[in-house]
Amino acid sequence: MARPTKGSGPGAVERLTEAFWAMLAKMPYADIKVALARRAGASPNTLYYHFDGIADLARHALKAELDAGLVSDLLAGTPLTPDPARSRRMGRVALAARSGSAELTGMLASSLRALWLGAAGVNETCLDDAQRRDLAFIFGGVVAMLGDESLAVDAGQMAAFASRPLGVGAVTTMTALGRDGASI
């Protein structure tokens, strides 16, 4: 297939990504597939030229929005409160977290986990099954918390999590894995 021609303004990938976020704010993830290309001012062929489909676009969109500061905060055991400079990005991450789509929330949890493993210098293949389950539980919980709409009103609730028993356990587990886990 020939490469689509460039027009003036944002490129197709940027338009598709922006349309994805705008549509996710208004409709369920599963419904986005139908009208995404049209909303972005692109043809379905353009979508499939740049991405393997909506899931590939979603992975791209998440990767672009995920903040390395989240990983740093997790590694340090510091509160996960968004600062004003990253509020738009955190808002988009929260949109994905509360999308109601198991596919999208799973992508988010996997992406956060991969970022953390890389930042911690941990090779996932060297973790045992229990450690992998612990991380799946922790990042599933982080995604659930990121999607909690009440946190948008009171971000202090997220910070308080790190001082409660479950939060202390999550931070302790991640710190131990980061310190003692198999290095890459």
Q: What is the pTM of this model?
A: 0.81
* The token pair that represents 69 in the structure block: 């500061």
Q: How many CA atoms lie within 13 A of 80 on its CB side?
A: 27
DSSP assignment of 141-177: HHHHHHT-THHHH-THHHHHHTTSHHHHHHHHHHHHH
pLDDT per residue over 90-138, tens digit each? 788 889 999 999 999 999 999 999 988 888 888 889 899 999 999 999 9
CA–CA gap between residue 92 and residue 89 (Å, rounded) = 5
State the residue for tokens 């990121």: 146
Q: Could you report the per-residue pLDDT of 64-99, keeping only the tens digit for each?
A: 888 766 666 655 555 555 566 667 887 888 899 999
